[in-house]
Amino acid sequence: MKVNQFVCVLLLAGVAAVKMPAQTLQALWSFNYTNSGYPYGGLMLGNDGNFYGTTASGGTNGDYGTIFKVTTNGTFTTLISFNFTNGAQPSASLTLGNDGDFYGTTGDGGNTNFSFPMGMGTVFKMTTNGTLTTLAFFTYTNGATPDSALTLGNDGSFYSTTENGYTNGNGTVFKVTTNGTLTSLFTFDISKTNGANPSALTLGNDGNFYGTTINGGNTNLYGGSGCGTVFRVTTNGTLTTLVSFNGINGAFPSAALTLGNDGNFYGTTSGDGNTNLNHDTYGTVFQVTTNGTLTTLASFNYTNGAESESPLTLGIDGNFYGMTVIGGITNSFQPMGMGTVFKVTTNGTLTLLAAFDGTNGMSALGALTLGNDGNLYGTTGYGGNTYTNDGFGDGTVFRLSLSSVITPPIIPPTITLQLWAGYPLLSLFGTLGDTYTMQYTTNLAVPNWTPMLIVPNLSISPFQMIDPAGVVQPSRFYRAVQSQ
């Protein structure tokens, strides 16, 4: 079908500020091991407004981990208990596919042999009602222990990394289709000069993927292991090292990068600024361009947190939100602190928002997730109602309400059009939290706009929909109207 007419209508109405409630960090759910525990990955917001995540332990089939659903009021449901054959010990967040299903990885289980009796991990798909399908098994030669989340590519396939595997054992980059065809794209070699032990991938505006490795790079540092890298990899597996950390500009980045509104990437390191290159340093927040120019934006000082291993989350205000593993509140049981939640601007102003106290969680490793209500949600790997002076607890799901009033950027509603499988694919760009009505007409001279779809409380921009009736004549014109 050829679409030869299209109109994009902009509504320049004022946008009200989104007011965040009082700044409170509240545990919505505490794991107690019998219902699973240790949610090391972050939460994924589903199309139904609920959150989905994984735990590395627990379940009804043994201590192999689970997949769960939790509502914004803390109602918890276990959807999947892994049984080792279909995977074990998932430690990464889920990824929402174009089909509305969730995709993820397990670090263990699956294909086993005498050399690797614990298995080497799987890729799986899960429907929202809890039906799980194993898509691929790792065999070491194609990678092992995929501890990172999958990233959806422009081609509809998923891309990610394994921490270990292949001949040299330093990790791989792989691609997997929705029908389970797994392809190894790149292997980190034994020299470690291009990095070792990679994190999850982030899709750039250029269609390539960007990531970090916690080790490798300049192997003259840190006893030959290096301090980590930032890299770019194409969909056909061509890898370019963009940055080699040296300790002064940061060290040991273990979290995925986050794409900013400016097209640059933002991330954290768990070590920094100590030429002795020990693990007692506090870490940094950095910006890196697609050509490898790295700028250190902020350094943690322990009071506001230390050793961030969580990806940053881009807020509706254009700032980034993240967490640290330690620092913040300390006691005799936890002299290193229990971790913090922070905000950092693109010019490097870092603000402490909250500190974990053990009962509401501790040691957060996954990313924060922005809910449809404007609050931030996340998990902690330890802590909760079983946190005592002689026990770390099994983790929490928490909500952080911010005290400040965040005014989102004013984005006049815009619709763009492209073809998908011969049908018009409409992309609605707008201000998060606002409600829009998508409309069409067949005559601009005497327009009679017909409603197509109401998009309440826009939670993602762009919001996309297919108009299957757009293939008929006469041609359709589209617009978006902001509800008052």
For residue 307, tell me if it sits in a domain: yes
Q: Do residues 434 and 300 share a domain? A: no
Query: Among 312, 320, 313, 326, which Cα is nearest to 349's?
Result: 320
For residue 11, tell me if it sits in a domain: no
Q: Do residues 185 and 299 share a domain? A: yes
For residue 326, tell me if it sits in a domain: yes
Q: Give pLDDT, residue 390.
A: 55
For residue 446, tell me if it sits in a domain: yes
Q: Do residues 68 and 109 share a domain? A: yes
User: What's the CATH code of the domain at 311?
Assistant: 2.130.10.10
DSSP string, 274-324: -TT--TTS--EEEEE-TT--EEEEEE--BTTBB---S--EE-TTS-EEEE-
Q: Do residues 133 and 193 share a domain? A: yes
Domain count, the chain: 2
Q: Do residues 338 and 478 share a domain? A: no
Which of 406, 426, 447 lies at the terminal end of a domain, its last residue? 406
Neighbours of 264 (CB within 10 A): 18
The DSSP 8-state label assigned to residue 268 in this structure reads E
Q: What is the phi/psi pair of residue 470, to 5°?
A: -75, -5
Q: Do residues 33 and 179 share a domain? A: yes
* Cβ proximity of 379 and 37 under 8 Å: no
Which of 406, 431, 461 lies at the terminal end of a domain, its last residue? 406
Query: Among 209, 252, 206, which Cα is nearest to 229's?
Result: 252
User: What is the spatial distance between Cα 437 and Cα 483, in angstroms, rounded to a whole number?
Assistant: 7
Q: Do residues 402 and 419 share a domain? A: no
Query: Among 287, 325, 312, which Cα is nearest to 368's?
Result: 312
DSSP string, 354-366: EE--BTTBB---S
User: What is the spatial distance between Cα 66 and Cα 80, in angstroms, rounded to a whole number?
Assistant: 5
Q: Do residues 120 and 268 share a domain? A: yes
Residue 454, domain extent: 414-482
User: What is the spatial distance between Cα 89 and Cα 94, in angstroms, rounded to a whole number?
Assistant: 13
For residue 9, tell me if it sits in a domain: no
Q: Give pLDDT, residue 218.
A: 86
For residue 2, tell me if it sits in a domain: no
User: What is the spatial distance between Cα 173 and Cα 208, in angstroms, rounded to a whole number?
Assistant: 13
For residue 311, tell me if it sits in a domain: yes
Q: Do residues 360 and 271 share a domain? A: yes
Q: Give pLDDT, residue 388.
A: 64
Neighbours of 295 (CB within 10 A): 13
Which of 385, 406, 427 lies at the terminal end of a domain, its last residue? 406
- Beta-carbon contacts of 363 under 8 Å, excluding residues fewer than 6 positions away, are 325, 326, 338, 339, 356, 380, 381, 382, 383, 392
Give per-10-residue mean pLDDT for the chain (484 aa).
29 28 77 85 93 94 92 94 94 94 95 69 94 94 92 95 82 95 92 91 96 89 84 96 92 95 95 53 93 95 91 92 91 82 95 92 95 91 77 91 55 77 80 84 86 82 79 81 77
For residue 6, tell me if it sits in a domain: no
Q: Give pLDDT, residue 14.
A: 26
Angle at 355 between CA 362 and CA 303, to 5 degrees: 110
Read off the tokens for 455. Answer: 């998009």
Strands (E), 7-58: 18-19, 24-30, 44-45, 51-55
Query: Is the full-model pTM beyond 0.85?
Result: no
Bridge-based pairing of strands 182-187 and 196-198 is: unpaired
Q: Do residues 243 and 356 share a domain? A: yes
Sign of the alpha-carbon dihedral angle for 213, 283, 106, 233? negative
Q: Do residues 395 and 424 share a domain? A: no
Half-sphere exposure (Cβ direction) of 236: Cα atoms closer than 13 Å: 0
Q: Do residues 393 and 465 share a domain? A: no
